[in-house]
């Protein structure tokens, strides 16, 4: 990736054109704090041009056949496959994720998800007979896709690809910290040959571009991933115009280790889950719940596992944990650690002190906290950093109470002596997705939350259906 690039254009109506709004966004490398690039800070002018282009394309794009959309999406998939190294290099630079993790997840997962939607589109029935009615699934209209920085390409693909597969034109507003991989994606869309207006990219801040997009009368569907606080604002603005919304928001997921399960594997897997991507994962198991008889054992095992995560240069293949995304996030995570200690938590490993060996970059010490009580801030709020809290429970009912005892309900884990035991416990949790005994992530299963973790679902058939509306014809 080149040292510095100055971009002044947005991808609108099938071409790169100069931004119509003043201002720019500086993109920093969080490991070096050096400037990578500047991109336009689009606002109402760029958003209006993009939405106008999408509306102009909506009817013709929505009328394309399944085979036409499959051909274009296949070319996009092939472009993503060919650009794996470039995607990895870009995400490492602008997010600071370790190169090995980036290649496997930040670059590899979007390719897997795109392929899954090719298979789904080829088989999905857009027409169903019910009694004397034929029900047609039709494109839901112009989609505003607003994506976060923590999994920048995956979140783009999880919204844009199913929307395009459904026949909806899209306006994408990526996070301002990671706009470069979004520009790369726009280039791949263009090279795949999608018609003008089917996909549009506007870089900008949430306050200007994001707000203008959500409030634009030409947008029919808003798909947003981000914080719960901003998600509420999005829902309120969209609701005034009766727009459909899909919100994938925060999490404070619990990993519950039941007696008789493999505690060694459970704790080691939990630490890896929380420290991956520097803890910047909405579905991370940030609360480890263990029976009180195994509490100290779990603390010891967590400390041992955490020792394997030493902050380092994300371009080094040996690095397992890089920096957090920016200075604001660094201060936020350290503040949560200090707050927890002030409330009486015990520091097992880590802490808020700077990483002495890395004076440059936004590095946080991977941290494990014990003696955390359920009402503590660190046990209730999303930290979004490499911080794991360990809580003891008395019995299964108490474990359910603790696991469900936050405003969130996005994900979780359960470890039992067997799958049936784990599944029975998982059915009692108020959360959208639970991994049993380390079950693998499934890109075909619906992803989304309960309670303050959001509305709607992404991935698989359920993700496609977020972008469809239904018309019944009676015969």
Pairing of strands 127-130, 35-40: unpaired
Pairing of strands 127-130, 133-139: antiparallel
Q: How many Å apart are CA 70 and CA 174, to the nearest integer?
A: 25
Q: How many Å apart are CA 368 and CA 313, to the nearest integer?
A: 22
124-147 burial, b if ≥16 CB within 10 A, otherwise e?
bebeeeeeeeeeebebbbbbbbbb
Residue 10: strand pairing partners: 17
Record the tokens describing residue 316, joined without a space: 């080094």
CB-hemisphere CA count at 13 Å for 335?
Answer: 11
434-450 burial, b if ≥16 CB within 10 A, otherwise e?
bbbbeeeeebeebbbbb
Write out the catalytic residue numbers.
248, 282
What DSSP string runs through 130-171?
ETTEEEEEEE---EEEE--SSSHHHHHHHHHHHHHHHT--EE
Nearest to 123 by CA among 464, 470, 469: 464
Q: How many Å apart are CA 219 and CA 245, to the nearest integer?
A: 11
């Amino acid at each position: 990736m080149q040292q510095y690039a100055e971009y002044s254009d947005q991808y609108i109506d099938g071409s790169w054109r100069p931004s119509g709004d003043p201002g720019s966004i500086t993109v920093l490398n969080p490991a070096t704090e050096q400037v990578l690039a500047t991109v336009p800070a689009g606002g109402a002018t760029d958003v209006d041009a993009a939405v106008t282009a999408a509306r102009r394309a909506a009817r013709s794009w929505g009328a394309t056949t399944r085979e036409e959309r499959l051909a274009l999406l296949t070319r996009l998939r092939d472009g993503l496959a060919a650009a794996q190294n470039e995607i990895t290099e870009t995400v490492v630079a602008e997010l600071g994720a370790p190169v090995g993790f980036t290649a496997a997840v930040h670059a590899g997962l979007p390719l897997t998800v795109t392929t899954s939607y090719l298979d789904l589109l080829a088989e999905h029935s857009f027409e169903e007979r019910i009694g004397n009615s034929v029900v047609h699934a039709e494109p839901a209209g112009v989609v505003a896709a607003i994506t976060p920085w923590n999994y920048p390409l995956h979140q783009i693909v999880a919204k844009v690809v199913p929307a395009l597969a459904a026949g909806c034109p899209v306006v994408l507003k990526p996070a301002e910290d990671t706009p470069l991989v979004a520009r790369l994606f726009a280039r791949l869309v263009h090279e795949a040959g999608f018609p003008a207006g089917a996909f549009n990219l506007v870089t900008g801040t949430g306050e200007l571009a994001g707000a203008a997009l959500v409030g634009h009368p030409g947008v029919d569907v808003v798909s947003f991933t981000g914080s719960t606080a901003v998600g509420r604002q999005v829902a309120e603005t969209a609701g005034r115009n009766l727009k459909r919304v899909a919100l994938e928001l925060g999490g404070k997921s619990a990993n519950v280790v039941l007696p008789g399960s493999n505690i060694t594997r459970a704790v080691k897997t939990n630490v890896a889950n929380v420290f991956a991507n520097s803890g910047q994962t909405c579905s991370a198991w940030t609360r480890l719940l263990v029976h009180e008889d195994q509490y100290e054992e779990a603390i010891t095992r967590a400390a041992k596992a955490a020792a394997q995560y030493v902050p380092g240069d994300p371009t080094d293949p040996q690095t397992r944990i890089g920096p957090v995304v920016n200075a604001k996030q660094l201060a936020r995570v350290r503040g949560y650690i200090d707050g927890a200690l002030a409330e009486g938590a015990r520091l097992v490993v880590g802490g808020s002190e700077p990483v002495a060996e890395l004076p440059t970059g936004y590095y946080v010490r991977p941290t494990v906290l014990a003696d955390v009580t359920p009402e503590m801030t660190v046990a209730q709020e999303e930290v979004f950093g490499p911080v794991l809290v360990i809580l003891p429970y008395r019995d299964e009912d108490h474990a359910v109470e603790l696991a469900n005892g936050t405003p969130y309900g996005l994900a979780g884990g359960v470890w039992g002596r067997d799958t049936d035991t784990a599944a029975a416990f998982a059915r009692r949790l108020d959360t959208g997705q639970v991994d049993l005994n380390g079950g693998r992530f499934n890109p075909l299963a619906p992803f989304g939350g309960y309670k303050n973790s959001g509305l709607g679902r992404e991935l698989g058939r359920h993700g496609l259906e977020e972008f469809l509306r239904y018309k019944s014809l009676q015969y």
